[in-house]
Amino acid sequence: MNDWDSPWKDICDAFFPDMTALLLPEVYADVDWTQPVRMRDKELPKLKKKHRAGKNYADKLIEVRLKNGEQQVVFLHVEFQHQHDPKFPVRMYRYNYRIFDKFDEHVISIAILGDTSPTWIPNLFSFKRWGFDLSMAYSVIK
């Protein structure tokens, strides 16, 4: 199995502010860069649950503080995906709610896609039945 994510994870660790400025300027503008940025990836395996789908923990988890003071702590969940996976949106949702459940703080999920298909841009998980409606849209960078 190829490890396509490691170079992206290393780039994210080394150049997170620059990467954010380039790929997510709105996020960059809201983050208080005078405060420490905490890479919380080591805590992700603790979120893993036994599940038949295999790997069940996110690629990157970054804790940032905001300038505006509304919500002081926000977690950025960044997922790197390099091949088409029809279950990717449900994985994004699963990671998001597990992180939220563990830390009880806002979680913003972002997907960085490295596949070769120009038309595959999964940016929404949704489920609706019997008056219940759950939906999570997330940013995609391709």
**Segment 94-107 mean pLDDT:** 92
- Domain ranges for the chain, please list them: 5-141
Which tens digits make up the pLDDT trace of 59-98?
899 999 999 766 688 999 999 998 899 999 999 999 999 9
Q: In this predicted structure, what is the pLDDT of residue 55? A: 54
Work out the pLDDT band at 7, boundaries 50, 70, 90: confident
CA-to-CA distance for 91 and 31, rounded, in angstroms?
Answer: 26
Burial of 21 (0-12, 13-18, 19+ CB in 10 A): middle
pLDDT over 70 at 124, yes or no: yes
Total count of residues recorded for the chain = 142
23/88 Cα distance (integer angstroms): 21
122: confidence class by pLDDT, cuts 50, 70, 90:
very high
pTM: 0.83
Give the span between the Cα atoms of 27 and 106, in whole angstroms: 14
* Confidence (pLDDT) at 49: 57
